[in-house]
């Protein structure tokens, strides 16, 4: 049985359909990340699960129980917001125990629940401070601890790290991952940051325009995107999009012309294409092979900028038709970097998309 399931869920705001026919099963203990661009509907989905928004149609199941219209307080769900929403006049101890005190639990009972959680979150030495006396990361941990003391069945996070500076964000990401390993509570986490999604998720749900585009393990989505949107959203730097014009079709292969004139063969598979069709070849920055001389199965790139990070360098440039290209090279040691590159494409790793963005395989 799934820990949580959405079944054909819709959300309408007046005539605007924010969520369209979303179905999803989250397994017990799983860490699922909803990712997508701003306005795609991720927060709406999370808020419907929490009970902060009505579900227009469809069903929400938590364990075996239908919870579509259940009062938020009775869903056994805890949510951590971007803005933490700690009580400023209460100490860390007061914030952590607040929900239990409201529920009428005794002081010793509250301490028995709060203390181990404070220890786990390394807050024991800060119990008498107020939120204003804490760093951003510590406040974040108090917000998580406050949710944890309620022993939720499902933990929801809405962009919890986006207010933190870059270094702290990386640190908190690691802490969240370790915490999840320790407590194992089923978690749904919303972010627009694909790196957070890749590093935290057991499975990623890619959302666009209120619909699920694809669900899968991070590496599955990276290696096997089902459309150009997912290929473009997952992976940093972004996948390269190269226009490929069909110049020939035989039984097994398509002959494709690339910008600059090189012709490549690509297995035809189930694709029906006619001469003159313009398709998109998706090539990740690490899937080019630099050669000397003219590329036979690739492209020439005019480089305008090199970025040297030490272990890895990125060349930013353009093809003959103006399309932008990013090329990754490991352990590149030329101090300036070349201005013109001849790049063969590793065709076995390249994806072919039709004019609608659907992957052809
Ligand atoms: P995300 O979290 O992915 O940025 P949201 O879930 O906040 O996106 O919003 C999804 C869509 O629903 C957006 O187009 C947004 O404008 C719309 N929306 C969200 N809340 C409301 C509301 N209360 N009334 C009308 N439209 C809303």
pLDDT digits (tens, 9 = 90+) for 122-158: 899 999 999 999 988 889 889 989 988 888 999 999 9
Element (DSSP H or E) covering residue 76: none
- Distance from Cα 249 to the centre of ligand 1, integer Å: 45
- What per-residue confidence (pLDDT) applies to 85? 82
Beta-carbon-side half-sphere exposure of residue 240 (alpha carbons within 13 Å): 32
Residue 44 has pLDDT above 80, yes or no: yes
pTM, full prediction: 0.91
Q: Which atom of ligand 1 is nearest to the CA of 37?
A: 3
Measure 130 CA to ligand 1 centroid, in angstroms: 33
Cα diameter, the chain: 78
| Closest Cα to atom 5 of ligand 1 | 41
For residue 51, report the distance from its CA to the centre of ligand 1, in Å. Answer: 15
Ligand 1, atom 18, residue with closest C-alpha? 18
Measured in Å, residue 12 CA sits from the centre of ligand 1 at 10
Q: Is residue 41's pLDDT more than 70?
A: yes
Output the pLDDT for position 46: 97
The confidence score (pLDDT) of residue 273 equals: 83
Q: Which atom of ligand 1 lies at the shortest distance from residue 53's CA?
A: 23
Residue 312: is the preceding peptide bond cis (ω within 30°)? no
pLDDT (tens digit per residue) in 235-244: 999 999 999 9
What pLDDT digit, counting tens, does each position of 202-234 carry?
Answer: 999 999 999 999 999 999 999 999 999 999 999
Give me the domains of the chain, ranges plus CATH numbers.
Answer: 4-233 (3.40.50.300), 240-353 (2.40.50.140)
pLDDT value at residue 107: 94
pLDDT band at 252 (very low <50, low <70, confident <90, very high): confident
What does each C-alpha distance from 5 to 27, 225, 227, 323 come to in angstroms?
Answer: 9, 23, 25, 42
**283: cis peptide before it, omega within 30°?**
no
Task: Using pLDDT thresholds of 50, 70 and 90, give the confidence band for residue 49.
Answer: very high
Amino acid 335: pLDDT? 66
Can you tell me the distance from the alpha carbon of 121 to that of 148, in angstroms, rounded to the nearest whole number? 10
Is residue 72 within 8 Å of 152, Cβ to Cβ?
no
The DSSP bridge partners found for residue 186 are: 154
């Amino acid at each position: 049985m799934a820990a949580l399931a959405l079944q054909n869920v819709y959300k309408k705001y007046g005539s605007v359909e924010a969520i369209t026919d979303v179905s999803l099963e989250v397994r017990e203990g799983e860490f699922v990340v909803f990712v997508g661009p701003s306005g795609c509907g991720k927060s709406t989905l999370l808020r419907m699960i929490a009970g902060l928004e009505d579900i227009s149609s469809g069903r929400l199941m938590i364990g075996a129980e239908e919870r579509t219209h259940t009062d938020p307080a009775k869903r056994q769900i805890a949510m951590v917001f971007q803005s933490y929403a700690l009580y400023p006049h209460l100490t860390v101890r007061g914030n952590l125990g607040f929900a239990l005190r409201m529920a009428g639990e005794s002081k010793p009972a509250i301490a028995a629940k709060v203390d181990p959680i404070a220890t786990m979150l390394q807050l024991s030495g800060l119990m008498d401070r107020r939120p204003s006396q804490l760093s951003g990361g510590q406040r974040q941990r108090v917000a998580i601890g406050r949710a944890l003391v309620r022993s939720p069945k499902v933990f929801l996070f809405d962009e919890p790290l986006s207010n933190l500076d870059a270094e702290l964000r990386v640190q908190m990401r690691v802490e969240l991952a370790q915490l999840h390993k320790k407590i194992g509570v089923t978690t749904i986490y919303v972010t627009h940051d694909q790196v957070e999604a890749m590093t935290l998720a057991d499975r990623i749900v890619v959302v666009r325009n209120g619909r699920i585009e694809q669900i899968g393990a991070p590496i599955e989505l990276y290696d096997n995107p089902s459309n150009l949107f997912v290929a473009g959203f997952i992976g940093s730097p972004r996948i390269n999009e190269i226009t490929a014009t069909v110049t020939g079709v035989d039984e097994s292969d398509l002959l494709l012309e690339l910008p600059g004139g090189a012709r490549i063969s690509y297995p035809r598979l189930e694709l029906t294409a006619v001469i003159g069709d313009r398709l998109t070849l998706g090539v990740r920055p690490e899937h080019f092979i630099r050669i000397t001389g003219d590329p036979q199965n690739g492209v020439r790139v005019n480089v305008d900028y090199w970025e040297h990070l030490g272990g890895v360098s990125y060349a930013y440039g353009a093809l003959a038709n103006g399309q932008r290209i990013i090329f990754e090279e490991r352990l590149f040691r030329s101090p300036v970097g070349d201005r013109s590159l001849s790049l063969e494409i590793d065709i076995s790793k390249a994806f072919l998309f039709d004019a609608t963005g659907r992957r052809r395989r």
